[in-house]
Every structure is written in structure tokens, then in C-alpha cells.
Amino acid sequence: MLGTGDLIARIKKLYERNPVANKVVESIKVLGKEVSRELGRSVKIMNFCGTHEWTITHYGLRTLMPDEVELIAGPGCPVCVTPGHYVEGLAKLSFEGVTVLTYGDAYRLPARRGSRYGSLAEARAEGGDVKVVYSFLDAIKLARSEPSKEHVFFAVGFETTMPSTAQPLVAGAVPDNLTILSAYRLTPPVMKYLLEAVKDVILDGIIAPGHVSAVIGANAWSFIPEEYGIPTVVSGFEPLDVLLSIHAILRMLKQGKPALINEYARVATPEGNKQAKKAIAEAHDTVDAYWRGVGVIPKSGATLRKKYEGRDATVKYGINAQADFTDVMPGCKCGEVVLGKAKPTDCPHFMKTCTPTKPYGPCMVSQEGTCRIWAENLPALLEQLRKL
């Protein structure tokens, strides 16, 4: 756990490694005050991505902001929004002769309320056949090594991870005894939903996700400045990347010229990865999808196309998500945290009945979950909270 002393050392190191960081921070302070004066309130900048939230919290970037600039964590944690119904269905299957393969961060994801098993980890502890894999290729190898056994892969993620299943699928490299439960969620639709349907969240600038943009292309975010007039920066993940992105947003606000800037051009091209996009389009259909704790978001999910229904676990085993919110634990504010409407510290369970070692809600499970990130940086976070 990161302490306040560690935090100061990290900020010192950041300045030593990047002499320009100090200048950027000083300029953010001046610009932030000016823009806030013009707005008549604090400037609200959302970082979409869980990895950006990690950088901001770990390096204490909130402590470097002027009081007039607020950094708000966004919906960038796919595990946090994965329906508990999927976990319930997979846990049940693991006792019915099917091997369930999952990434480590979905292993402890809580199931729907009232489920026989609280998570896949619990199912395994009670004898369920659940295995943690590091990649879909591992899942393919495992399925091939046990040809007489059925396997199902729990595919959780955003566009970043979709090519890992789509490419082997369209290449015909997925063995017959391996199906995919596609729990994939799409990022531009949730951003659109936030800007249109969530009325009580005001955003003046968006730090768009870098990893996702490497696949779908930085231009995927051009609708934000064009349709909503909000400055947007596709950002890298080093602390200096994030500082430069905040600076660019404030500069655009000051000039009254909202645009899309690609600060992460070293990795994300305007068009993205054409091969990966082609495989995704060939493997998946876009559908309305339920986001845990949030609700149904139009065109925000990806199912397998009909031609791959033999590989589709929702077809083969009938596991589907219900938008009935029975996967939201009483008192858990994860859905609000995901939308930037609440902070983890607003939740009565935070670090009491919900901790990284015993997560009660889904935002405490994954390394990309805001509650988990805040929990693991707690002493330093208290310092940062004085800025909020």
C-alpha cells in the first residue's frame, strides 16, 4: 500500500525524470484558475480509463492540480460492469462437466445476488472446474489438450481484448470443444450514453483511453468535440502523458476551440489497427447490452455473429444477462462510481465491508476498478482527497 511518504518520493521522481513536468504543472495551475473563473465553477475532466485512474492515483496527480481542476474517474473497467448473471451461469456450468476458463481479474467477480456460488473462485473452492488463464491462446491450448472435455472461455473486456478472441475465431483456430461467452463491452457507446443520458454529470474535458484507441483508432473519439463541444485527448499512461493531456484540455477550453488531440500517437494511429478491426467486425455483431449497476446501453455490447453460433456459449448453454439489477449488492455504489457520479469514498462499504482481499462489489475486484485503485493507495489517497 502506498503511503504519503512514498507519494512525495514518487512526485519527486516524476519531476526528476521529466524536468518538463514541473513546468506543465505550473501552467495547469494558471490555466485551470483562468478557465474555472470563466466557467464560474471548477473544471471537470474525466479520465475514461482505469489505467489512467491508476496513474493519477498512484502518482498523486490530484495533489498537483489547482483546487479549480477536478479529475473524475470514468467507466474504463470492463470487469466492473460485467453482469453477475454470467458469473452465476458459469459457476453452475463448472459443476456440470464443463471447464470454465477465465482471466484472473474476473475470477473473484461477485455473482448475482442469491447465487449458489458467490464467484468463480468460490465455485472452484467447492470443487467446480474453473481455471485461470492468461490469454485466449492458453484457453485454446488447454481445450486442445483435453479434447473429450467441453470448455468455455469467459471473454471480458473492451475493444482492446476483442482481437484476442476474434482473430483465432475467424481464422478457424478455435477447437470444437471450446466456446466463448462474449461479455465484451464497447467504449464509444458508453461515452455517448454518459454525455446524453446521464444528466447530473458535467464534463468539460475527456481523457480518452489509449489502449482502446490503439485498436479502434484515435478518430473514434472525434464525435465528442464535434457533437458535444468537449475537448478530448487520447492519452498515454505515463504521468507526464496524463499531465500533458490535462494541459491540452485546459488550453482548448481557454481558447474556446474544442478538438480531438492524439497525445498517444506513438501507439494509437488515427485509424487504429485495421487487421484487428476487420477481425472484430467479422466475428461480432453489435447489440444493446446491460452494464452492471448502470442499465442497458444502446449498441454497447458485442455478441458472436450467427455464423459462429457453434462457438457461442450463450447459445450453447443459454447463459444471458438480465437487466434486472439483481447483480448490484445492497449499498454498493459501483454503478455510480463507473459513471463518475460518486467516489468510492462515498460508499458506506468502502474499506469496511469491501476491501481488495474481500471485495463486496465489482469495482473492488479488478486492478482497473476505481474502488480497488483507491483502496490500494489509501494513505496517499487521503492526501489527494483534500483536493476534491
Of 46-54, 176-184, 276-284, 332-340, which part binds ligand SF4 (CB under 6 A)?
332-340
Q: Report DSSP state, residue 234.
A: E
Of 1-9, 30-38, 146-154, 361-369, which part binds ligand SF4 (CB under 6 A)?
361-369
Q: Which of 151, 192, 333, 343 binds ligand SF4 (CB under 6 A)?
A: 333
41 phi and psi, to 5 degrees?
A: -165, 180
205 phi and psi, to 5 degrees?
A: -160, 150
Compute how many residues bind ligand SF4; rule: CB under 6 A.
14
Q: Which is nearer to ligand SF4, 153 or 374 (CB)?
A: 374
Beta-strand relationship, 69-76 and 295-304: unpaired
Q: How far apart are CA 253 and CA 129, in angstroms?
A: 53
Beta-strand relationship, 205-208 and 43-49: parallel
Of 130-138, 190-198, 250-258, 354-362, which part binds ligand SF4 (CB under 6 A)?
354-362
Beta-strand relationship, 295-304 and 284-291: antiparallel
Of 67-75, 202-210, 220-228, 327-335, which part binds ligand SF4 (CB under 6 A)?
327-335
Per-residue burial over 142-177, b if 16 or more Cβ lie within 10 Å, else e, is bbeeeeeebbbbbbbbbbbbbbbbbbbbbeeebbeb
- Residue whose C-alpha is closest to residue 305's, from 283, 321, 320: 283
Determine the residue with CB nearest ligand SF4.
361
Q: Which of 349, 366, 373, 376 binds ligand SF4 (CB under 6 A)?
A: 349
Of 128-136, 141-149, 183-191, 349-357, which part binds ligand SF4 (CB under 6 A)?
349-357
Instruction: Give the C-alpha distances (Å, rounded to integers) separating 168 from 165, 216, 272, 277, 314.
Output: 6, 18, 19, 13, 19
Q: Which of 332, 338, 339, 373 binds ligand SF4 (CB under 6 A)?
A: 332
Q: Which of 206, 221, 361, 380 binds ligand SF4 (CB under 6 A)?
A: 361
Q: How far apart are CA 261 and CA 265, in angstroms?
A: 9
Is there binding between residue 373 and ligand SF4 (CB under 6 A)? no
Is there binding between residue 84 and ligand SF4 (CB under 6 A)? no
Q: Which of 21, 101, 337, 381 binds ligand SF4 (CB under 6 A)?
A: 337
Of 83-91, 230-238, 239-247, 328-336, which part binds ligand SF4 (CB under 6 A)?
328-336
- Residue whose C-alpha is closest to residue 27's, from 248, 260, 259: 248
| CB hemisphere CA count around 256 (13 angstroms) | 2
Q: Which is nearer to ligand SF4, 210 or 361 (CB)?
A: 361
Is there binding between residue 363 and ligand SF4 (CB under 6 A)? yes
Q: Which of 354, 373, 380, 381 binds ligand SF4 (CB under 6 A)?
A: 354
Q: Report the Cα 8 to chain-centroid distance in Å.
A: 27
Residue 287 identity? V
User: Which residues sit at the interface with ligand SF4, rule CB under 6 A?
Assistant: 332-334, 337, 344, 347, 349-350, 354, 360-361, 363-364, 371
